[in-house]
Amino acid sequence: MSGRTRWIVLVLLHLILVTVSFWASFAIRLDFDIDRIPRDIFWQSLPMLLAARLASLAGFRLFRGMWRYVAIPDLVQILKATLVGSIAFVILQIWLFGLVGFPRSVFLIDFAGNIFLLSGIRLAVRILRERSMVASYPEAGGGRLLIIGAGDAGASLCSQAFTTTNFQYEPVVFADDDPSKIGQTIIGVPVAGRISEIASLVRRYDVDIAVIAIPSASSSRKRAIVEICREAGVECKILPATSDLVDGSVSISEIREVEILDLLGRPQANLNVDLIRDSIQDKKVMVTGAAGSVGSELVRQIAALRPRLLVLVDRAENQLVYFEAEIKPFMLPGTKLTVRIVDVNDQPALLRLMKESYPDTVFHAAAHKHVNLMEDAPSQAIANNVGGTLSAARCAIDVGAETFLLISTDKAVNPTSVMGATKRFAELVIRELNRTSETRFIAVRFGNVLGSNASVVPIFRRQIANGGPVTVTHPDVERYFMSGSEAVGLILQAAAIGEGGEVFILEMGDPIKIVTLAETLITLSGLTPGDDIEIVYTGLKPGEKLSEELSFSGEDVTDTGLDKLWVLNDIQSELGMVAKAERLLAALPELDEITARNRIGEVVSGYRPASASDLGDRKSPNAATKQTESQGPSDS
């Protein structure tokens, strides 16, 4: 049916409904004695009533709505249109014909009748459509849905499930821990029990899938619910946390698999978006290490802030090609994208690139980050983490960049690894450069990014997919974790407020034991830790600590006034670090790996290279044994 034909049909249908309501109003007023209806008054007033009603309905755009999606806002519009139409009719009736012989109560009866008929026909269309959709679920290969949480999010999800064609699950039951809700119904769906009773609800209502619709639930609460669903043998999905909802409203399109961050995360930081946007919009920005985990997330968030120029630098050719293809479709008008293969250790090449673009801000994310690999290749760690930082920093100074931000790590604090020591070295180098240049040099120190490339999460997932075992170095090893998107948002805030010379740290929450991380991933796979998948302890690797720290004892931690972002006032800052870096880098080609490691210890105070005896002490007494007892929250 064409738009014009549909409009004509709707107008005719409304004319009929308005006429029926007007006639019924007289009939009700006269106790359904049809012969007593004053036909001359009825036919005299009807054209005027139709004109008033149609004008008000058109004015409130009620000929354009799709009835199968009718909701409360549409009913409010009908109420408004009916009220306006009735007032107009009363005024015209009094002005043109007076009220002699016209039953006054007809005005009120007709007002109510119009609301009933105009709303009722729309609701009838929606109900018929929803029933036809429910009837089609079995044929469409759908299933029966348990909604966990009978609050606003759960009710919204239930409503949308009944009205969205491509959502092939029928809500059949709610579970909620609020006693006042149990026994009630939402859109005809019963709230039949508590969350702890999910197993019996699954059996009683033949549930195929469950969705956690409690956006404000804590990580520990979500973890408990996932475990209950696993024990009940039902697939469990989730709606995003409140802070992750784009506009604060729930949509069935946002239902997704439960992720590790849902169960081990913490409340996300409240970012000052205006502050970040003002520091990036219409600026020229360069990101080194742009194809890596942190670098790529930096690029995604910076691109959304409309910089004038965004320069992506990395030496990993394949990764950069794939990432360029990913990011290009999301570039906004007014932003130019430049992608270059450049090694940050190649200072002449990097300087040529910077002189093409003259970036205002450089985010230096290029680094070697894997602790165990760098223990075997300290010369590479020095060349990339120290030499690459010094090279990029000097290029930034040469082109007059306003800001240079170094991505550092919690492993730089009291380092026991080559990687941590070289990142600490890099921190000290840029702090010295800050005192001798106009460029603002800033470092941001934080823990692990959950799920980053080659991190423990993807490794555990592969081990689980292969049937186990999952290997954990030590039952007590723990790490700080946060999501990449949150870490980058806080990094951008640090770049916006840094005055130069600061080391910022991100509030990481409580450290997580690695064994808990392993157990959680196994549970998310629908398996039981220790029974279906073994957890084996292998002993700490060279350079690895049981736990990490975010600040030295000599560093004064100060609140920045921004959520989850702190700044360190370093009273241990050392002089001559640039000269020491230059000498070490110049000698590096002639050094063997053991000598290179020892040279770092001569420069970075507090660093103690791992020795053979250290490695023996680090091994777990239960190394290479099966986990037999459940551990507390953990991460690796």
Length of the chain: 636
Task: Show the tokens assigned to 614.
Answer: 């250290």
Query: What would the pLDDT profile of 571-598 be if each residue is shown by its tens digit?
Result: 556 778 999 999 999 999 999 999 998 8
Residue 239, domain CATH: 3.40.50.720
Task: Say whether both 338 and 297 belong to one domain.
Answer: yes
100 within a domain of the structure (yes/no)? yes
Read off the pLDDT of residues 4-57 as tens digits, 9 standing for 90 and up.
777 788 888 888 888 888 888 888 888 787 778 788 888 888 888 888 888 888
Q: Tell me, what's the pLDDT at 323?
A: 94
Residues 277 and 236 in one domain: no
- For residue 452, is pLDDT > 70? no
Has residue 284 got a pLDDT over 80?
yes
At residue 350 the predicted structure's pLDDT band, cuts being 50, 70 and 90, is: very high
Does the structure show a pLDDT above 90 at 287? yes
153 in a domain, yes or no? Answer: yes
pLDDT over 90 at 311, yes or no = yes
**Predicted pLDDT at 67:** 59
Q: 336 — phi, psi (to 5°)?
A: -95, 135
Residue 501 lies in a domain: yes
**Dihedral angle, C-alpha 61, 62, 67, 71, nearest 10 °:** 80
pLDDT at 449: 76
> Are 91 and 149 members of one domain?
no
Does residue 427 have a pLDDT over 90?
Answer: yes
Q: What pLDDT does residue 132 have?
A: 59
pLDDT at residue number 269: 77
| Confidence band of 142 (pLDDT split at 50, 70, 90) | low
- Look at residue 135 and tell me if it is in a domain: no
Per-residue H/E/C for 109-144:
HHHHHHHHHHHHHHHHHHHHHHHHHHHHHHHHCCEE
Residues 106, 49 contacting (CB under 8 angstroms)? no
Residues 612 and 494 in one domain: yes
78 and 148 co-located in one domain: no
pLDDT of residue 46: 86
Q: Which helix (H) or strand (E) holds 280?
A: helix 273-280
Q: Residue 68: what pLDDT? A: 58
Whether residues 147 and 120 share a domain: the answer is: no
pLDDT of residue 636: 30
Phi and psi angles of residue 342, each rounded to the nearest 5 degrees, phi first: -145, 135
Count of alpha carbons within 13 Å of 384, Cβ hemisphere only? 21
Specify if 624 maps to a domain.
Answer: no
The verdict on 339 and 405 lying in the same domain is yes
pLDDT at 619: 43
Determine the pLDDT at residue 299: 95
Q: Give the pLDDT mean for 115-122.
A: 82
Q: What is the pLDDT averaged over residues 375-392? A: 94
- pLDDT level of residue 139 (50, 70, 90 thresholds): very low
By residue range, what is the domain housing residue 178? 141-258
CB 462 within 8 A of CB 274: no
What is the model's pLDDT at position 160? 79
Q: Residue range 383-401: average pLDDT?
A: 96
- Quote the number of domains for the chain: 3
- Better-scored residue on pLDDT, 336 or 1: 336
Indicate whether 218 belongs to any domain.
yes
State the Cα–Cα distance between residues 364 and 408, nearest whole angstrom: 9
The pLDDT, as a whole number, for residue 578 is: 93
What local confidence, expressed as pLDDT, does residue 115 receive? 85
pLDDT at 71: 65
Say what percent of the chain tops pLDDT 90. Answer: 35
Q: Is residue 523 part of a domain?
A: no
Residues 113 and 158 in one domain: no
Q: Are residues 49 and 198 in the same domain?
A: no
CB 522 within 8 A of CB 453: no
Residue 536: count other Cβ atoms within 10 Å of its Cβ: 17
The predicted model scores a pTM of 0.68
Cβ neighbours, 10 Å, residue 416: 22
Give the residue, 164 or 398, on which the prediction is more confident: 398
Q: 126 and 152: one domain?
A: no
| pLDDT tens string 174-193 | 999 999 999 888 877 899 99
515, part of any domain: no
pLDDT per residue as tens digits for the range 210-225:
999 888 888 778 888 9
Question: Please, which residues have CB within 8 angstroms of residue 48's CB and are 6 or more apart in sequence?
Answer: 89, 92, 93, 96
**For 626, which DSSP code?**
B
Q: For residue range 121-133, list pLDDT tens digits in order.
A: 877 776 676 665 5
Residues 487 and 409 occupy one common structural domain: yes
> Which comes out higher in pLDDT, residue 611 or 440?
440
Using pLDDT thresholds of 50, 70 and 90, give the confidence band for residue 114. Answer: confident
pLDDT tens for each residue of 50-90: 888 888 888 777 777 655 556 677 778 888 888 998 898 88
- Measure the CA–CA gap between 206 and 146, rounded to whole angstroms: 9
Cβ atoms of 439 and 403 closer than 8 Å: yes
Q: What is the mean pLDDT of residues 309-335?
A: 93
- Alpha helices by DSSP H, listed for 566-611, are 577-587, 593-603
Give the model's pLDDT for residue 620: 39
CB 327 within 8 A of CB 339: no
Residues 424 and 296 in one domain: yes
Mean pLDDT of the chain: 82
3-state secondary structure 328-350: HHHCCCCCEEEEEECCCCCHHHH
CA 434 to chain centre: 35
Give the model's confidence band at 140: pLDDT under 50 very low, under 70 low, under 90 confident, else very high. very low
